[in-house]
A and B are shown apart, each in its own frame.
Chain A
Amino acid sequence: MNIRYLPILMIMLSPFVAIQNSSAYHNLNNIFESTFVFRSLPGMPVNFEVDGGTLGGGNGLTIVQDACDEWDGLPNVPNFCGNLNQLETDITSSNFDSIVPQNDGVNTIVFDENGSILADLGVPGVLGLGLTTFNTASGLITDITILINGSIPSSASADLLATVIHEMGHTWGFAHVPIGGINTTNSVDGFDRISPSAIPTMYPFAIPQDDRFGRTLENDDLGAALLNYGP
């Protein structure tokens, strides 16, 4: 049985069942009569509530603003980021559930300074996590939560700004793209390897040569933005 038909069967059971499918540079979240629906923002720009704590011991709000500036600098797409309102509260594992309830319609960026929230969520040690809640019929995103791991010092091996930009991309609806250091898996070099500086920010891993290259969006990232939000 082709795997493709199982989601269709499930849609017969419920019109709201959620199936996520994704392509190289955009997320496609629902299959309905063989037609994909984008997972996309219902409106732009997106306002965020930002953690009142620190990120990597420093000012996380500045990093978030820089990440927004990178996305908002893309041509031919509207600005992604709106107001950034920094909370007075430091979000921690003890208050995360109360401050960041699921699908409350408030978009939140969390500085997980010691990594404990990500550990509680079952993904310890990741650099960041982007969560989107979306309507499975329309594909419209209803809630965004971005968690950045502050316990991993920002360095050339794992850059905090690059991570924020990357996770923001997920919450706009973009998936990973394998253009980069590991093109074909198996650690086999592929053809036309790309310069580390040109590896798309939506590459799934920290850029091994220098993760600060992830601070700039590349052509494939732009392709995703244009496809979802271009004119």
Chain B
Amino acid sequence: MLLPLYLFTLVFVAGPLVYMLLLSFATARSGYGVEWTFTIDNYRRILEPVYLNTFAGSFRLAFTSTLLVCFLGYPFGYFMSKLSRKGKKQAMAALMLPFWVNSLIRLYGWIIILQKKGLLNHVLTSLGLTGKPLKLLYSYPAIVVGMIYVLLPFMVLSVYSSAEKMDWRLVEAARDLGAGRMRAFLTVTLPQTMPGLLSGIILTFIPSMGLFFIADILGGNKIVLVGSLIQEQMTRGSNWPFAAALAVIMMIMTTLMLKLYRRVTSGGRLEGIG
């Protein structure tokens, strides 16, 4: 009875991935489509400085965003786990609700806020904090804000899910045994919620290299993400094998991060949504 279901999962979930892998070793035909002659040129091309730079730039951005998401998301998930049952439900609903508004529309909301004659500049100038309007939109910080905005819920959910499973008696025990609040947090709480934090990092880091529309809409395309590159090669450049190779590299990075995670948490599963 289970076989057809597995088959569906296999064909539609794994199918595209296997296809990508095969594609990454094929040759781009001039124009449209591919020729199935084996080559590793697509991977060799990634080593060209332009593309390495793209990876480096994406990494930097991913690192910054992930770090900030950690600092902002961890306390949120942690506090959320301490709420009452009802409070948890409400916080969860509040967290999911924005997702039901189209993501492009939400990003346009940020444009309205960040633009030169926008809300934030209006507030800042009328409070006398700045003389003339600041250049906020189409800057690096604007991209980072967009990234945090999109990715923060994933971190919150991950941390929340592992903080909820935590054994609070251990914290009490540590406190009873004379540990300060900070010390109890560092030695008891943090290690126990580590799987959640790490899951959150995985769910933030790799996807942030793919969110090309944020770099486009809020960043004025000043940073080319690996995701933008894949998108461009797939649609405009119509060099599918190269795009596939880039995607495979990202899949490999994902797999490595998951492996590392499993090593650190001794075989644990991703927390939260993952």
Q: Do A and B come from one complex?
A: no
